[in-house]
Chains A and B, each alone.
Chain A
Amino acid sequence: MNGEKAISKQRKGRQEMDNKRKRLSMQVDLSDFMPAADEEKEYMVRMRPSTTAFKDGVKRLRRNRVAMISFWVIVIITLAAIFVPMFWPYKYEAMLGMVPGKPMDPSFNNLRPFEYARTELNAMENGARVMPHLFGTDANGRDYFIRVIYGTRISLAVGFFASIIVLLIGLVVGSVSGYAGGAVDIVIMRIVDIIYSLPDMLMVILLASVMKVTLSQKLEGTPLAKIGSNIISLFIIFALLYWVSMARLVRGQILSLREQEYVLAAQASGAKGSWVIRRHLIPNCVSVIVISTALQIPSAIFTESYLSFLGLGVNAPMPSLGSLASDALNGLSSYPYRLVIPAIVISLIVLSLNLFGDGLRDAFDPKLNA
């Protein structure tokens, strides 16, 4: 600090003298071109590598232990949901007691965890190795572990794609409304207001209960039939109803960011439009949008499991966490773990997604942290 001050004092003195002596002289002052002194060099040393706003956010996120744990929980669950069905010896829809060409073996039904059916016990006596049923089997003799894994896969996929749909529609409508302004903006925003004040769950149930019938007839024979009419109607419902808060958010962001002083400052110092958009509007907008998309996923999973529980979700025999929980209610007193397992998985997914979303928000958008 002292060296720095001394240098600037020296410079100032020299300049004043120059000004006095040869104010109009074009002669170059050689002292300005002397090699820098060590003290001056020290002042210029970068103490640490410069960071970007993104790197800064990642660093803050990494320091947030809760968010990191949630992140790894999500990663593990997602990887398990994707890869475990590939090598697991049982299929989610296979009723193990029913093998074509052989008599039915009812001892496969309702196995408790790590129990074996008669056929399997016979096979094991002959020296064959049989994969244990980690969570037992259900009333139809289907391996419950793989059903839970598969249900997790369905729930995660529904949550993810529903959020993408919401993001796309909200982004388009919100930015159109924000940019266009005027009458377009007013009309769009009134529509948004009305959809926003509709009781969403009731509308979802109403639409789902009707679309279940309408869609399944239309879909027959098309490749979409495999996904199931209920999942598609779920996506349609999300596309119809849930984009409004995203649209509001995007519009608000665009309106407020356009008026910011730093945008004005950049423009005043000669920045081009593309620079302003790339450097100021997008980075400031993206974090908010990404965060609310991340927080949309658990709410979509919530909705899906709720509808599945009411029997309006995925089509049988495809499992989802909600439908597994709903099916488990029938044998509740004898097999409570069949309810507890999907319940824990749903709660874990929703909890860690929420906590991770909160962490993202804290790390990348400290302004939002209310």
Chain B
Amino acid sequence: MNPKTLKYILKRIVLALFTIWVVITLTFFVMHAVPGGPFVGEKAVSPAVQKAMEAKYGLDKPLGVQYWTYLTDVIQFRFGPSLKQRGRMVIDIIGDGLRTSAKLGVISAGLATLFGVVLGSVAALRRNTVTDRIIMVITTAFVSMPSFIMGSLLLVTFAVKTHIFPANGSTRAGLVLPIVTLMLYPMAYITRLTRSSMLDVLGQDYIRTARAKGVSGMRIIFGHALKNALIPVITYLGPQLAYIVTGSLVVEQIFAVPGLGRSFVNSITNRDYTLIMGTTIVLATLIVVMNLVSDIMYKIVDPRIHLE
């Protein structure tokens, strides 16, 4: 690895750490901007009880001290107890939800990449034919459809009207529809990405050279073209995760999947502030780290790419 790449990687890591710090700080101050503090809305409490509660959660200390304790706590993943679910720690709720959500996310990301690459390559190789047109029209439609619309429509068609799949996402069969919902947008995006980069690669001189040497069509596609055409797909790994995370918020709500997304949405409606903060920080960190990884991979895989 040359020193320039190393410098770039270090720079990106510093930026990522800084971003995570900004997220943590932002959540802290945003939560402090809530009028009356986090205990408003509970049944009316006497000032003495209010004071005792504030003392218990450290809300009576000066802002700077609070911020420092908060920062050190968060770095050790101590988000404190949930305000609404009595006796449960935020980190446990997140851990439980994340297990289901991660399964959902990983499967749909994997399927999206697989189908996207295959469809994109097919569209590029059959360029300007009916197959290509059909693939492009369908992917354009999928890209323009918000995930909650897609999810609801799938729910109507396959669960409510025809009962092919259960509408409740807590069983194994019930996970099929949420996975499909989450998969379609990234799949369509990857298809378009692969198609355009595949077309670009197929026009390169080295492909013509390989053809001229008499290399078989299959070897050209798998040995020369696909490898290079997949490089831009790597850059989409980070945004894809971000999409799946935000998409899962509504999709889990629609299909009643007991995952992190649903508990996040519920925490917003219940105004469970510690849970909102904790979930935001965990998910944001996940996305930032994934962006970092995909950018660094991109740089390592293709040393030609010049990044400032």
9 closest residue pairs by CB, A with B: A351-B144, A201-B246, A199-B287, A343-B149, A350-B144, A209-B268, A336-B156, A197-B19, A309-B148
In chain B, positions 255-308 with a C-beta closer than 8 Å to chain A are 264-265, 268-269, 271, 276, 280, 283-284, 287-288, 291
Is B23 an interface residue, CB under 8 A from the partner?
yes
CB-based contact A199/B288 at 8 Å? yes
Let me know if A15 is at the binding interface, CB within 8 A.
no
B149 touches A346 (CB 8 A): yes
Chain B, interface SS category: helix
Contacts of A322 in B (CB 8 A): 146, 148
Specify which chain A residues have a CB less than 8 angstroms from the CB of B22 in the assembled complex.
194, 198
Taken together as a complex, chains A and B put the C-alpha atoms of A214 and B145 apart, in Å, by 32
**Size range of the chain B interface in the assembly:** 35 or more
Kindly identify, within residues 50 to 69 of chain B, every residue whose CB is under 8 Å from any CB belonging to chain A. none
B144 CB to nearest chain A CB (Å): 4
Q: What residue in chain B is nearest A305 (Cβ atoms)? A: B146
Q: Are A197 and B288 in contact (CB under 8 A)?
A: yes
B33 at the interface (CB under 8 A from A): yes
Is B48's beta carbon under 8 Å from chain A? Answer: no
Chain B residues engaging chain A, CB cutoff 8 angstroms: 15-16, 18-19, 22-23, 26-27, 30-31, 33-35, 140-141, 143-146, 148-149, 152-153, 155-156, 160-161, 196, 242, 245-246, 249-250, 253-254, 264-265, 268-269, 271, 276, 280, 283-284, 287-288, 291
* One of A202, A302, A333, A340 near B280 (C-beta < 8 A): A202
A205 within 8 A of B: yes
A205 touches B15 (CB 8 A): no
- Tell me which residues across on chain B come within 8 A of A354, comparing CB atoms: 140, 143-144
A201 x B19 contact (CB < 8 A): no
Q: Is A193 located at the chain interface by the 8 A CB criterion?
A: yes
- A336 and B144 contact, CB distance less than 8 A: no
The reply to whether A306 and B250 form a contact with Cβ atoms under 8 Å apart is: yes
Q: Which residues of A contact B140 (CB under 8 A)?
A: 351, 354-355
* Contact assessment for B152 and A329 in the assembled complex, using a CB-CB cutoff below 8 Å: yes
Taking CB atoms and an 8 Å cut-off, the chain A residues in 330-370 that contact chain B are 332-333, 336, 339-340, 343, 346-347, 350-351, 354-355, 370
With the chains together, A38 CA to B137 CA distance in Å?
55
Q: Which residue of B lies closest to A206 (CB)?
A: B280
Does B30 contact A202, Cβ atoms closer than 8 Å?
no
Q: Are B34 and A202 in contact (CB under 8 A)?
A: no
Residues of A within 8 Å of B161, CB to CB, are 336
- Say whether B276 contacts A198, CB under 8 Å: no
Smallest Cβ distance from B35 to chain A, in angstroms? Answer: 6
Q: Is the CB of B143 within 8 A of A347?
A: no
In the complex, the answer to whether B144 meets A347 with C-beta atoms within 8 Å is: yes
Q: Is the C-beta of A260 less than 8 angstroms from some C-beta in chain B?
A: no
Measured between beta carbons, the chain A residues less than 8 angstroms from B16 are 197
Please, which residue of chain B has its CB at the minimum distance from the CB of A302? B146
Q: Check if A106 is an interface residue, CB within 8 A of chain B.
A: no
In-complex Cβ contact of A210 among B18, B33, B284 (8 A) = B33
Find A198's partner among B144, B145, B253, B284 (CB 8 Å cutoff): B284
Compute how far the CA of A333 lies from the CA of B162 in the bound complex, rounded to whole angstroms: 11
Are B250 and A332 in contact (CB-based, < 8 A)?
Answer: no
B246 contacts which of A202, A333, A336, A350 (Cβ < 8 Å)?
A: A202
Q: Return B165 CB to nearest CB of chain A, in Å.
A: 15
For the complex, is A203 an interface residue (Cβ under 8 Å from B)? Answer: yes
Cβ of A213 under 8 Å from chain B: yes
Cα A206 to Cα B264 with chains together (Å): 10
Query: What's the A-B contact tally at a CB cutoff of 8 Å?
Result: 123
* Bound CA span A333–B161, Å: 7
Whose C-beta in chain A lies nearest to the C-beta of B150? A343
Residues of B within 8 A of A172 (CB): none
Majority-rule SS of A interface residues: helix
For window 226-242 of A, CB contacts with B under 8 Å fall at: none
Query: Which residues of B have CB within 8 Å of A328?
Result: 152
Residue of B nearest to A308 (CB): B148
Residues of B within 8 A of A205 (CB): 249, 264, 268, 280
Is the beta-carbon distance between B268 and A310 smaller than 8 angstroms?
A: yes
Question: Which residues of chain B are near A206, meaning CB under 8 Å?
Answer: 26-27, 30, 276, 280
B196 CB contacts on chain A under 8 angstroms: 370
Q: How far, in whole Å, are A351 and B153 apart by their CA atoms in the complex?
A: 17
Q: How far, in angstroms, from A306 to B253 measured CA to CA in the complex? A: 12
List 7 A–B pairs whose Cβ atoms lie within 8 Å, in order of A's numbering: A194-B18, A202-B245, A203-B26, A329-B152, A339-B156, A340-B156, A351-B140
- Is the pair B283, A194 in contact by a Cβ cutoff of 8 Å? no
A315-329 CB mask vs B (1 if < 8 Å, else 0) is: 000000010011011
Chain A residues with CB under 8 Å of B23's CB are 198-199, 203
CA distance A206 to B24 in the complex (A): 12
- A207 contacts chain B at the CB level, 8 A cutoff: yes
Known: A209-B276, A332-B156. Contact between A311 and B269, CB under 8 A? yes
* Given A209-B268, A332-B155, A202 contacting B19 (CB threshold 8 A): no
Q: A209-B276, A309-B148 are in contact. Are A329 and B254 (CB under 8 A)?
A: yes
Given contacts A206-B26, A207-B30, A340-B153, 16 further A-B contacts (CB under 8 A): A194-B15, A199-B242, A199-B283, A202-B280, A206-B27, A210-B34, A302-B146, A309-B146, A309-B148, A328-B152, A332-B155, A336-B156, A343-B149, A343-B153, A347-B145, A347-B149
Task: Report how far A339 CA is from B161 CA in the complex, Å.
Answer: 14
**Does B250 contact A309, Cβ atoms closer than 8 Å?**
yes
Interface hits, A254-303 → B, CB 8 Å: 298, 302
User: Does A325 lie within 8 Å of B148, measured CB to CB?
Assistant: yes
Q: Is A312 an interface residue (CB 8 A)?
A: yes
Answer whether residue A107 sits at the interface, using C-beta atoms and an 8 A cutoff.
no
Chain B residues, Cβ within 8 Å of A343? 145, 149, 152-153
A289 to chain B, nearest CB (A): 22
Asked whether A347 lies within 8 Å of B141 as measured between CB atoms, the reply is yes
A310-B250 CB under 8 A given contacts A339-B153, A346-B146, A355-B140: yes
Q: Could you tell me if A202 and B287 are in contact, using CB atoms closer than 8 angstroms?
A: yes
The answer for the CA separation of A305 and B150 in the assembled complex, in Å, is 13
CB distance from B47 to the nearest CB of A (A): 21
